[in-house]
Amino acid sequence: MLRRTLLAAPLLATSAAAQPAWPARPIRIVNPCPAGSPDAMVRFLAERLTAALGQPVLVEGRSGAGGTIGAGLVAHAPPDGYLLGIGNLGPHAMAPATYPGLRHDPLRDVTHLALLGELPLSLAVSAAGPHADLAGFIAAGRAAPGQLRAGTVGKGTLGDLVPDLLRRETGAEFAAIPFRGGAPAIIGTLGGRIEATLASLGETGGQERLRLLAPASAARVPRFPDAPTFREAGLDLVAEVWFGLCGPAGLPAPVVARLEREVAANIRSEPYGRFLAGLGAGPHRPLDAAAWTRFVAAEGVRRGDAARAADLRAE
């Protein structure tokens, strides 16, 4: 028995030595979000990870079904570090409540690696329309319950919750109309198909043909200092969509450590901070894998409960 063990030891050592160091080939990052600010964030990071890791880091868009298609692809991938994904609030916190037939668990089947950023939602209307400010828009929603339509970035997303939150806070009723991303919702608003857009501040802010009524941030955003928040209007409404890097469960510890190290170096850099500020994000709060996993779990409870209370279903 001892002789067999001694003979096997060199073979095991040779086998381990033969394993190529990670990464030995291109890495794919699946982005479950439509084109817009989140996609720009992912591609910005991918360029820098390509340089840091010495292998191409490619972004693959897989939007649809509130982000659950792309999220499921990552959750069921081999845990070898070559297929990663972008976790966000919709598919990784709200989906268990809004998609009853979800075929993966956003915690059990996923390795959450790092928080990349938080983008506040915002409410915007056509600059040519009749709504001059948030107070006027809410008054119109009270006067004609359910008649004002607000476009969201997809079914079962945080934007779908905002009309219910506004109803609870103000008594005004708005209809949430899902679009495949912020850009189509903005086009719908400008074309008169809907009255408002609920999309990320990076997409609505600075648009000459849009009137920004309020960002759903905790405080005023430096890029838009003249835009008062919902809180300043006396409403307890903060709605920020978070994005993070993730992979399938069971990623090897050396891969997790390397990704944590390289991502942390990039997201703490001044260029990344400037880039996030340009998207309308507030100051970034770096979270390591352990803290990030706890955050996602807590958000699953908080936002999942809110979705159930609003009877929000994506199907």
Residue 174: CATH number of its domain = 3.40.190.10
Range from 15-29, 46-60, 199-213, 230-244 carrying the lowest mean pLDDT: 15-29
Residue 137 falls inside a structural domain: yes
pLDDT given for residue 184 in this prediction: 92
Lowest mean pLDDT, pick from 33-37, 91-95, 151-155: 33-37
Q: Is pLDDT of 162 > 70?
A: yes
Domain boundary among 233, 267, 299: 233
pLDDT digits (tens, 9 = 90+) for 273-306: 888 888 888 767 778 889 999 999 999 999 999 8
In tens, the pLDDT along 64-82 reads: 888 899 999 999 999 999 9
Banded pLDDT at 315 (limits 50, 70, 90): low
Q: What's 99's domain CATH number? A: 3.40.190.150
Query: Does 100 map to a domain?
Result: yes
Structural domain boundaries, residue 180 = 120-233
User: 252 vs 54, 179, 219, CA distance in Å?
Assistant: 19, 38, 39
Q: Is residue 315 part of a domain?
A: no
In this prediction, residue 212 carries a pLDDT of 94
Q: What is the pLDDT of residue 51?
A: 95
Global confidence as pTM: 0.85
| Whether residues 198 and 143 fall in one domain | yes
- Do 165 and 217 lie in one domain? The reply is yes
Considering the domain architecture, whether residues 140 and 164 belong to the same structural domain is answered as yes
**If you average pLDDT over residues 128-139, what whole number do you get?**
95
